């Protein structure tokens, strides 16, 4: 079957770490880098205030979460995220105390790691994380799509609006942007709604389109300027005058894509 093919890589994932002890945070980072080289660390935080801001601006697939940290610990952080309707990733609790295990699994924790961490135990957790994020069939499908020469989409797409059917080329889409959970394609003829989710389009559209934010995917052919100030989030200026926010976690990928293009 396809999932047993050696050409199918293990599914990659993006993760973050919340841990107030620097030595413990570094130890976990190094262990994850060694045992999950296909994964990517997006951000790390030593307190809940920083973590909640990152959960809003830089969503990840997995959160490795200590239980006790300032100002009020993991369960307060999760409660605040829930109240603010922030999407929570898969959660792996990492702590030196086991008395919080039951409460941790009330939050549908993917796993619960006790310190001191051992490679075998962390490896088992990573296997569980990978399995929970994507099934082998989906992983194989995504890999196959990424290897298609033209990104796996037809050259054109159509949109029905009232009594008209509008036909577009994907190449004339300047950028995609999500508004109130609806994805819109922005073109010189205006913006039109699409019936595919942003995550799927990111995979299918290929290298000319780059994800710069959880809500934006841009066509590099229509990118005019990138602003990357050191003290705040960046911006991508598009040909139609739009200034789209670039999350800090995605700025490096954008710059690398520009360098490949030029």
Task: Write out pLDDT tens, residues 11-51.
Answer: 478 999 999 999 999 999 999 999 999 899 999 999 999 99
Question: DSSP per residue over the chain, as a string?
Answer: -GGG-TTSPPPP-EEEEE-S-HHHHHHHHHHHHHH-TTSEEEEEESSHHHHHHHHHHS--SEEEE-SS-TTT-HHHHHHHHHHTTPPP-EEEEEES-STTHHHHHHTT-SEEEESSP-HHHHHHHHHHHHHHH--HHHHHHHHHHHTSTTTTS-SEEEEEETTEEEEEEGGG--EEEEETTEEEEEETTEEEE-SS-HHHHHHHS-TTEEEEETTEEEEGGGEEEEE--TTS-EEEEETTS-EEEE-HHHHHHHHHHHHHH-
Residue 102 pLDDT: 61
* pLDDT 10s digits, 47-103: 999 999 999 888 899 999 999 999 998 999 998 988 888 888 889 999 887 666 666
* pLDDT 10s digits, 161-178: 777 888 999 999 999 999
The pLDDT-based confidence of 138 (bands split at 50, 70, 90) is very low
Return the bridge partners of 218, or none.
175, 210
Residue 103 pLDDT: 66
Q: In whole numbers, what is the pLDDT of the chain averaged over residues? A: 83
Comparing C-alpha atoms, which of 188, 198, 184, 193 is closest to residue 159? Answer: 193
Residue 99 pLDDT: 66
Structural domains of the chain, with CATH = 2-143 (3.40.50.2300), 156-261 (2.40.50.1020)
State mean pLDDT over 215-240: 91
Buried/exposed code over 247-256 (b: 16+ C-beta within 10 A; e: otherwise): bebbbeebee
Give the number of residues written for the chain. Answer: 262
């Amino acid at each position: 079957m396809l999932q047993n093919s050696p050409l199918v890589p293990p599914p990659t994932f993006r993760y973050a770490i919340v841990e107030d002890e620097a030595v413990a945070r570094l130890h976990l980072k190094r262990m994850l880098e060694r045992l999950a080289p296909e994964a990517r660390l997006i951000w790390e935080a030593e307190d809940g205030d920083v973590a909640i801001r990152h959960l809003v601006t830089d969503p990840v697939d997995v959160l490795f979460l200590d239980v006790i940290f300032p100002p009020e610990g993991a369960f307060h952080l999760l409660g605040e995220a829930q109240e603010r309707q922030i999407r929570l990733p898969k959660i792996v609790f990492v702590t030196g105390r086991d008395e919080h295990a039951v409460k941790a699994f009330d939050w549908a924790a993917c796993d619960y790691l006790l310190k001191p961490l051992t490679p075998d135990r962390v490896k088992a957790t990573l296997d569980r994380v990978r399995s929970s994020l994507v099934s082998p069939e989906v992983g194989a499908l995504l890999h196959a799509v990424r290897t298609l020469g033209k990104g796996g989409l037809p050259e054109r797409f159509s949109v029905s609006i009232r009594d008209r059917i509008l036909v577009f080329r994907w190449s004339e889409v300047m950028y995609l942007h999500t508004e109130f959970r609806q994805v819109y394609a922005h073109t010189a003829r205006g913006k039109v709604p699409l019936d595919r989710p942003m995550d799927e389009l990111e995979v299918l559209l290929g290298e000319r389109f780059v994800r710069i934010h959880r809500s934006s995917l841009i066509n590099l052919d229509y990118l005019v300027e990138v602003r990357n100030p050191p003290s705040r989030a960046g911006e991508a200026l598009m040909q139609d005058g739009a200034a789209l926010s670039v999350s800090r976690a995605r700025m490096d990928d954008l710059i690398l894509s520009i360098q490949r293009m030029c």
